[in-house]
Each structure stands twice: as C-alpha cells, then as structure tokens.
Amino acid sequence: MSELDGVVDHLRGGQHFIIASHQRPDGDAIGSAMAAALALRALGKYTDVVFDAPPPQFLQPFPGVGQLRIATRIDETYDGAIIMECGALDRTGVAGLDRSPVLNIDHHLGNTRYGRVNWVDESAAACTELIFSLIERLETPLTREIATHIYLGILTDTGSFHFSHMTPRTFEIARRCVEAGADPQWIARTHYDSSTLGRVKIFGAVLNEMTLDPSGQVAVLTITDALATAAGATLDDTEGLINFPLTVKEIQAVAFFKEMADGMWRVSLRSKGNVDVRAIASQFGGGGHVNAAGCSATGELTLLRRTFTQLMAAAVAQSKEHSEDKPRRA
Ligand SMILES: [Mn+2]
C-alpha cells in the first residue's frame, strides 16, 4: 500500500476533519490546506481549516481564506487532523491537534514522520502537487477554486517557476489547473502585486545595507526592529525580499537575518542551481530544500553574519566542483 493509499483510506473512513499548516503561511501552506478542505467538503465531509493567526494580507483574497478558524489550541477531536507542509507538528503553532489521528502530508526533506499516517514525497515541487494527486484519487471535481489554490502553491513554492525541483508533472498540474479555470495573471498579481508602501520602503532600506563576500557571489541581508519601524513596515512586509539579490547574475546564495526576541535571529537562505543551503540550515537545527531553507540562530550579529557568509561561500565553491564533475545536460 502506498503512502497515498493510507491517506485516502483514512479520509474515506471519516466524516469530520481539521486541516492545519505552518505558522506564517505562504502560498503553498494556504493553497494545500484550502484545496484539501474544499475537496473534502465536496465529498460531504465537515472540514475546519485552522491557523494560529490570520494569514498575510496578500493571501486573504484567495477562495475561502476569509473563513479560516484562527486559534492557538483545539479542544475537540476529529476523525483526522491533516497537517500540511510541516516537518514537525509544533510548526503549526496550534496545540491539541494530536488529540485526533494525525495525517502528515509534506514535501520537505527531513520530515520527522510524526503522523499516524505519513505521506512525504520530497520529489513534489509544492505540497499542492500532492493535494492534486489526492484529489485525483478521491475523484472530486477540480473546481476553479481548488485549481486556484493548487496553482497558487506551485507558483509560490517554485519562486514563480524559477527553482530547480520542478518536473514535467509540475507543469502538467499547472496546465490542468488553468484548464479548470485558475487565472495565472490574477493569482500572480494578487499574490505578488499587493504591496504596501512600507513594503517597498523596507525593500529599499534592507537592500541598501546588503553586503557581499569577496567573491561577490554570496549576499547577506539584515532587518532589525529599528530598521522596520523607521520604514513604517513589519516583518510580514519582507516576504519575498530574499529573492531579490538572486536577480543579480553573479550572486549564487543569499542569507537574510531577521531580528526576533532575545538576541535570536531567524535566518532564511536561498540559492541558485545546486548550491545546497539546506545542509547549512540543518547544521543549525533548521531545514527546507536545496535552494530554499531556514533556521534560527542565537548570538552576536557580526559573528553570525561572518559564519553564514563562510558556509555559503564554501557551498558555492563545492557546487562548482560538483558541476565540473557532471556537466549539465543541454
Ligand atoms: Mn511547500
């Protein structure tokens, strides 16, 4: 029995479900949770979707997002708690989900397989690819609303079709979603072109302070509370900022330090090609994908910046050796 079979059996056998994903949800977290919820509701099943806080403003216009349940603990039990996109259960920020049998659906490396039922497929470019496969198996209609959420997850998790883990199936699913009525322009404009003025100002302030390593291939960005406040922005406004340095041809890897409480820094990492930033994040207890990963670190900022710059420069150098061994196929 495949892992997908296990999920399908469990869903067919139940009537009441709750779906959750990770804190500070992105397009794939919202897309996979909502697409699955809409499909289960189409089967006549009662389905709640819970997040610990309201999602960012640019995800609010997507179908059904206005009716999310916002809670940090769940006291009821359901026939299943379906957790999307979470390497570990505590990433939901919602307590009590494990009162119900947990179904763990994810595409991240390093998932701890914490569910009663686990379906972890690291080959999927987005968790919504898995939900597309699930919907095919459940034989529920691919409505325009569901297709919109599946496309949203693919669009955002591939960095607008930029990252390395896309497959022909990624495009096949995107095509099927567009055929079903998903509007690529509306989805992209709603997600990416809904900036606040504070967001544009914080981009300018953070990029102005960007530093490069001596090779010019590794960039480091930092945002402090003071910088955000001066720009009239919040940390939410920095969503997507990290991808900006990678538009510079020479830059191969980026680290973005965000100030949290008590001397702690959230460190997001991005890279191009086979520069492996997940391996760096995992040294600090984090995780993610080869080209997009994150972790937390505590310490003095200057030292942390130096440490991550060196680790990323080494990863860039290693990727070059690797690519000389194995030339890319044309
Ligand atoms: Mn994802």
Give the pLDDT band of residue 138 (cuts 50, 70, 90). very high
Report how far ligand 1's centroid is from the alpha carbon of 28 (Å).
5
Between CA 224 and CA 325 the distance in angstroms is 41
pLDDT score at 325: 53
Report how far ligand 1's centroid is from the alpha carbon of 237 (Å).
20
What average pLDDT does the segment 222-248 reach?
A: 89
Q: With H, G, I as helix, E, B as strand and everything else as coil, classify residue 26.
A: coil
Report how far ligand 1's centroid is from the alpha carbon of 31 (Å).
9
Looking at the chain, the number of H-run helices and the number of E-run strands are 10, 12
Report how far ligand 1's centroid is from the alpha carbon of 203 (Å).
24
Taking Cα atoms as reference points, which of 116, 133, 114 lies closest to residue 125? 133
pLDDT score at 329: 38
Between CA 104 and CA 78 the distance in angstroms is 15
Place of tokens 């892992």: 3
Between CA 34 and CA 155 the distance in angstroms is 15
What share of the chain has pLDDT > 90, as a percent? 84
Query: How crowded is residue 39: how many other Cβ atoms within 10 Å of its Cβ?
Result: 26
Report how far ligand 1's centroid is from the alpha carbon of 289 (Å).
9
Report how far ligand 1's centroid is from the alpha carbon of 221 (Å).
23
pLDDT score at 63: 98
pLDDT score at 134: 98
Residue 164, pLDDT > 80, answer: no
What average pLDDT does the segment 202-231 reach?
A: 94
Cβ atoms of 104 and 113 closer than 8 Å: yes
The more confident residue out of 184 and 329 is 184
Between CA 122 and CA 48 the distance in angstroms is 26
Q: How far is CA 5 from CA 78, 93, 101, 117, 189, in A?
A: 20, 28, 16, 10, 36
DSSP code for 266: E
**61: phi then psi, degrees, rounded to nearest 5:** -70, -5
Buried b (16+ CB within 10 A) or exposed e, 272-294: bbbbbbbebbbebebbbbbbbbb
Report how far ligand 1's centroid is from the alpha carbon of 288 (Å).
9
Residue 330, pLDDT > 80, answer: no
E-assigned strands of 107-235? 117-120, 211-212, 218-223
Taking Cα atoms as reference points, which of 267, 294, 256, 264 lies closest to residue 278? 294
Between CA 310 and CA 325 the distance in angstroms is 23
Report how far ligand 1's centroid is from the alpha carbon of 326 (Å).
28
Residue 270, pLDDT > 70, answer: yes
What share of the chain has pLDDT > 70, as a percent? 98
pLDDT tens-digit series, residues 191-209: 998 888 888 999 999 999 9
Taking Cα atoms as reference points, which of 219, 312, 301 lies closest to residue 259? 301
Report how far ligand 1's centroid is from the alpha carbon of 324 (Å).
30
pLDDT score at 1: 81
Give the pLDDT band of residue 328 (cuts 50, 70, 90). very low
pLDDT score at 320: 84
